[in-house]
Amino acid sequence: MQNDVVPPSTPAPLQAQFVTITEEEAGQRIDNYLLRVCKGVPKSHVYRILRSGEVRVNKGRIDQLYRLVQGDVVRIPPVRIAEKADTSHVPAAEFKVIYEDAQLLVIDKPAGVAVHGGSGVSFGVIEQLRASRPDAKFLELVHRLDRDTSGLLLLAKKRSALTNLHEQMRDGHTDKRYLTMVAGDWKNARQHVKLPLHKYTTADGERRVAVQADGMPSHTVFSLLKKFNGFALLEAELKTGRTHQIRVHLASSGFAIVGDDKYGDFALNRVLLKADSTRGALKRMFLHAHQITFTHPETGKIMTLNAPLAAECERFLVSLGKPVN
């Protein structure tokens, strides 16, 4: 009996991608952006597609020195990305769902989990969710949270929802609020911090932010919720959405977030790892995205979603006892 010969399957043709630049991604050069998102593609090939005009921004040609602006639509031509070929190593995971419908997925992200792979992290929330939802035709991050920040994270299940929410964020029509604990004697019931922020990369490739005169305009409003001996619980309201904005605005104002391993008080952080007679232990950064308000991209309804304070932060808060204010 003759065996049937099964012809090798023909790989599906690659298609160009169209990516809308978020506020987080704005400001970087197009070549650096492509080198980051096209992991596994040789650098020489990235510069070749730039020179050839295959990469377009808002349907027009650009050179490698072009700096991306929030809302830019970047056409990335078909490229084979080696690292993305095998996703079998990504463990499927679901996270606590705060809200979900045909347009949106809103989860409560735990601290210590990156939102996406890169910068030494092989996978993050978005890759794990895609692995757990193989039938999902579209799933993209609307915004980002730092790896060590917990709380509300929005994802779009349709491209139209993604574009709509990006426009809302760019135009200042969303309201994002965080709970944070700082060390020190915080005085004001409500305080505006307007310090320009500049992003840079350290020699070992770590992304950092510093207050700098020629940086991006940045504005955070802090409200005092509770005051303790040596600590204060604040609500941070983002008027702009720069990388590490809350962390750097507080540290530059003399009030480091407890547990912040980039901009915080490192000696205090070490002390807080163990409980003492006055408080419990804290082994993470006390920063939690607890509330977001936006307009639903399909219904037009104003939505306000909340995520309860993460358990480890709640335990530390309770351990401080009664507020002094």
Q: Would residue 135 show up in a list of annotated catalytic residues for this protein? A: no
Q: Which of 251, 243, 252, 250 has its CA nearest to residue 224?
A: 250
Q: Which of 16, 26, 29 has its CA nearest to residue 240?
A: 26
User: What is the C-alpha to C-alpha distance for residues 267 and 110, in angstroms, rounded to an integer?
Assistant: 25
HEC assignment per residue over the chain: CCCCCCCCCCCCCCCCEEEECCCCCCCCEHHHHHHHHCCCCCHHHHHHHHHCCCCEECCEECCCCCECCCCCEEEECCCCCHHHCCCCCCCCCCCEEEEECCCEEEEEECCCCCCCCECCECCCHHHHHHHHCCCCCCCEECCCCCCCCEEEEEEECCHHHHHHHHHHHHCCCCEEEEEEEEECCCCCCEEEEECCEEEEECCCCCEEEEECCCCECCEEEEEEEEEECCEEEEEEEECCCCCCHHHHHHHHCCCCECCCCCCCCHHHHHHHCCCECCECCCCCCCEEEEEEEEECCCCCCEEEEECCCCHHHHHHHHHCCCCCC
Measured between alpha carbons, how far is residue 325 from residues 225, 237, 322 in Å? 9, 21, 9
- Out of 63, 101, 135, 146, pick the active-site residue: 146
Q: Which of 274, 254, 275 has its CA nearest to residue 265?
A: 254
User: What is the C-alpha to C-alpha distance for residues 286 and 150, in angstroms, rounded to an integer?
Assistant: 9
Q: Which residues are catalytic?
A: 146
